[in-house]
Amino acid sequence: MTAFLELTLDKFIFRVDPACAYTPQGIWVKEAGPVNRLGLSDFLQQRSGDVAFAEVKPAGSILAAGAAFASIETIKVDVDLLLPAAARVVRVNPALGTAPEVINQDPYGDGWLCEVEWQEKPQLLAAAAYFEQMEKEAREEHP
């Protein structure tokens, strides 16, 4: 069982998976063999709200650094999810088409978005550094 880094603020608990690296936007990256799996951090999914629709670029797409590899439409906002480095999409989570709520239910597990092969090395935050950034943002939003 994963021992998450946790931040409790008011009624909210935000978890950070220490086994992942992160982009400043809150995309987690986990090595899974030759590919890297991507998803939304717990903080980003809670901040965005219940996901109504999730769309990910199809397998085979080659995208530049900073390009949107996915987008989510929630009850609050529409969010483009950006790649930290150029990559090729290898696989998309098939569950997202019929049950996008899995992103909210299990952001670090079954709610993964896609798997990619990097075309260049991404600059990512270690879990502890992301936790620090997240805590700062969360405390600003929930003073």
Sites of contact with other proteins (CB under 8 A): 50, 52-53, 73, 75, 101, 104
For residue 143, give every residue at least 6 positions away whose Cβ sits within 8 Å of its Cβ, in sequence order, or none.
none
Length of the chain measured in residues:
143
Determine the longest span between alpha carbons in the chain, in angstroms: 43
Distance of closest approach, residue 21 Cβ to other proteins, in angstroms = 29
Q: Which is nearer to other proteins, 73 or 106 (CB)?
A: 73
Q: Which is nearer to other proteins, 101 or 135 (CB)?
A: 101
Q: Which is nearer to other proteins, 53 or 139 (CB)?
A: 53
Task: Indicate the helix (H) or strand (E) that contains 79.
Answer: strand 78-82
For 16-45, b/e burial (b = at least 16 CB within 10 A) is bbeebbbbeebbbbbeeeebbbbbbbbbbb
Distance of closest approach, residue 73 Cβ to other proteins, in angstroms = 8
Distance of closest approach, residue 137 Cβ to other proteins, in angstroms = 22
Phi, then psi, of 99 in degrees rounded to 5: -140, 65
Cα distance from N-terminal residue to C-terminal residue, the chain: 31
Distance of closest approach, residue 127 Cβ to other proteins, in angstroms = 27
Q: Which is nearer to other proteins, 76 or 139 (CB)?
A: 76
Distance of closest approach, residue 54 Cβ to other proteins, in angstroms = 11
Q: Which is nearer to other proteins, 104 or 119 (CB)?
A: 104
